[in-house]
Amino acid sequence: MNIPDPQKLSLNTATVRKQWKLAQIIDGCARHGLRGISPWRDQVAELTLKKTRQLIESHGLAVTGLCRGGFFTKDNWLDDNRRAIEEAHVLGARCLVLVVGGLHEKSKDMPRARAAVREGLEKILPEARQAKVPLAIEPLHPMQAADRACVNTLEQALDLCDELGEGVGVAVDAYHVWWDPKLQSQIARAGRERILGYHICDWLVPTRDLLNDRGMMGDGVIDLPRLRSWVEGAGYAGFHEVEIFSDYWWGRDPDEVLKIIRERHPAT
Amino acid sequence: MNIPDPQKLSLNTATVRKQWKLAQIIDGCARHGLRGISPWRDQVAELTLKKTRQLIESHGLAVTGLCRGGFFTKDNWLDDNRRAIEEAHVLGARCLVLVVGGLHEKSKDMPRARAAVREGLEKILPEARQAKVPLAIEPLHPMQAADRACVNTLEQALDLCDELGEGVGVAVDAYHVWWDPKLQSQIARAGRERILGYHICDWLVPTRDLLNDRGMMGDGVIDLPRLRSWVEGAGYAGFHEVEIFSDYWWGRDPDEVLKIIRERHPAT
């Protein structure tokens, strides 16, 4: 396998969100030689959209995604997604990452949730196209189906993309999809057109928490070089965005974390 | 939806394994009017196979499954599965439940694990057929792909069944498959021929542990009546086996647990 291009390393800001504010994270990326960043909207709001844009531009970072829109099964989803599209536009984000939402409150009706997601996507897609903001549906791990996203496989996400047409694709997050027996074929199906982002971290054995026990690349069981070979083999030429939700890594010195990410990247 | 037949309630013995020995569980099932039981092999070994058979027969219980064979990615899988088939035969179990195993030790190679599972199945299937023990592949939740089972969707399990021919089917466990966007179509595909067992419990929100935080039916978000309508609509006419791995329920009086299971069954 070829070595990943070090220029393609990007940081999802959730990875060090407990230690640093967004301005510090932007600065940290630049200092550690990471060329991409994917910020979360609450951090952007805190710093202000204008200042975020200025800082990211002045450091010459690519915005590999904005996290996040979606949650189509919550109240007020339309306004929130409209704001998210506008923010992604202002930041020049390569995509708006969508965590689509789980079951409606007090509901057990998965088909209803999935229908709401499709309808929500149909509604916001014209506005996203107009703003030139590609929408990246992120299939989440099935263990998060109830409360975070009822789109849980790449196949399901790509079926949605086929129904919706242009301007929408997928974010392939190793953590969420690595287990899927149809992963290779669905990545090939997605192709260059539909793969809008590629997120990496690792699956730990044992995993002690359903949300915040992701591993640093190399500490778990995901065959990341093989996965990257499939993603890049499908034509994806974008960034490798590190996104680690982890109580452990949130407890470490963030400069250490970024240093380790750099060190681990070549073996992914 | 129709009410489930109370005569079809079965208990997977893992549900009260921390409180009772197998002899007590068999007795408890009879006292609480449960007509089926699915024991685990370590408990059978402790009580002895002969005594287990005698006790189950004298109480008139159906053996809805024997747990478990599989783990084809571990050393010594062949001998262990041969013994499991023999035990299932002696107990007159309706199927031998297979938890197929995860990654090989120190391996990240999922395709290798999946190939080993297929080869293992091919090897033991003739012996299972001869013993008239149907093999039930149980797709496990993707969060258990690394360490317990690399068969993670019903579609994947049924593809294996198609390759292998007769004598093998699936155990549909609500907990493992409820999230699957292809669930309805794959249950229909499975049909009466392939559905060898139907296991119920519930998915809690939040779920605090990847193994031992399953919910009692009604306490979570799985639409069990709808799922049963699909399973029975596909032709399955067997038992509804309650299997709850839960630190919470293991801490409760087992007579209470069985009473609550009976009370909850009509709404599943």
Q: Are β-strands A240-242 and A135-137 bridged in parallel, bridged antiparallel, or unpaired?
A: unpaired
The complex's ipTM works out to 0.97
* pLDDT for the residue numbered A262: 98
- Closest chain A residue to B111, measured at CA: A181
Are the beta carbons of A141 and B146 separated by less than 8 Å? Answer: no
Cβ A99 vs Cβ A143: under 8 Å: no
Helices marked H in A75-223: 77-91, 110-130, 154-164, 174-177, 183-194
Q: Which amino acid is at A253?
A: D
Share of chain A above pLDDT 70, in %: 100
Tokens representing B226 are 């709808």
Of A103, A143, A221, the CB nearest to B103: A221
- What pLDDT is stored for residue A165 in this prediction? 98
Pick among B100, B104, B144, B153 to test the A interface (most A CBs inside 10 A): B153
pLDDT band at A175 (very low <50, low <70, confident <90, very high): very high
Among B257, B152, B243, CA closest to A143: B152
SS (H, E, C) B76-118: CHHHHHHHHHHHHHHHCCCCEEEECECCCCCCCCHHHHHHHHH
Tokens read off for A31? 């200092």
Please give the mean pLDDT across all residues of chain A. Answer: 98
DSSP helix/strand/coil, B247: helix
**A130 Cβ neighbours under 8 A, 6+ residues apart:** none
Q: Which residues pair with A172 in a beta bridge?
A: A198
Read off the pLDDT of residues A150-173 as tens digits, 9 standing for 90 and up.
999 999 999 999 999 999 999 999
**Residues A149 and A170: beta-carbon distance below 8 Å:** no
pLDDT of the residue at A145: 98
3-state class (DSSP) for residue A98: strand
What is the pLDDT confidence band of residue A1, given thresholds at 50, 70 and 90? low
pLDDT in tens, A24-45: 999 999 999 999 999 999 999 9
Question: If you compute the radius of gyration of chain A from its CA atoms, what whole number of angstroms results?
Answer: 17
Residues of B22-57 as b/e, b for ≥16 C-beta within 10 angstroms?
Answer: beebbebbbebebbbbbbbbebbeebeeeebbebbe
Helix pair angle (A183-194, A154-164), 10° resolution? 30
Q: What is the pLDDT of residue B1?
A: 65
Mean pLDDT of A7-14: 98
Token pair, residue B255, equals 């007579």
Sort strands B66-70 and B96-99 into parallel, antiparallel or unpaired. parallel
Q: If you count them, how many residues does chain B have?
A: 268
CB B77 within 8 A of CB B37: no
A36: tokens are 């991409």
Q: Compute the distance between CA of residue A68 and CA of residue A148 in angstroms, rounded to an integer.
A: 12
Chain B interface, mutation test: which of A1, A179, A214, A227, most B Cβ atoms within 10 Å? A179
What is the rounded distance in angstroms from the CA atom of residue B27 to the CA atom of residue B29? Answer: 5
Q: Do B182 and A152 contact (CB within 8 A), yes or no?
A: no
Q: How far apart are CA A215 and CA A202, in angstroms?
A: 5
CB contact under 8 A, B110 and A179: yes
Cβ-based contacts under 8 A for chains A and B: 73
User: Torsion over CA of B152, A207, A209 and A155, rounded to 10 degrees?
Assistant: -30
Contacts of B221 in chain A (CB under 8 A): 103, 107-108, 146
pLDDT of A133:
98
Given the structure tokens 């609500």, which residue do they identify?
B174
Per-residue pLDDT of chain B in tens (268 residues, 90 and over written 9): 689 999 999 999 999 999 999 999 999 999 999 999 999 999 999 999 999 999 999 999 999 999 999 999 999 999 999 999 999 999 999 999 999 999 999 999 999 999 999 999 999 999 999 999 999 999 999 999 999 999 999 999 999 999 999 999 999 999 999 999 999 999 999 999 999 999 999 999 999 999 999 999 999 999 999 999 999 999 999 999 999 999 999 999 999 999 999 999 999 9
Interface contact A221-B108, CB threshold 8 A: yes
User: Is the per-residue pLDDT at A213 higher than 90?
Assistant: yes
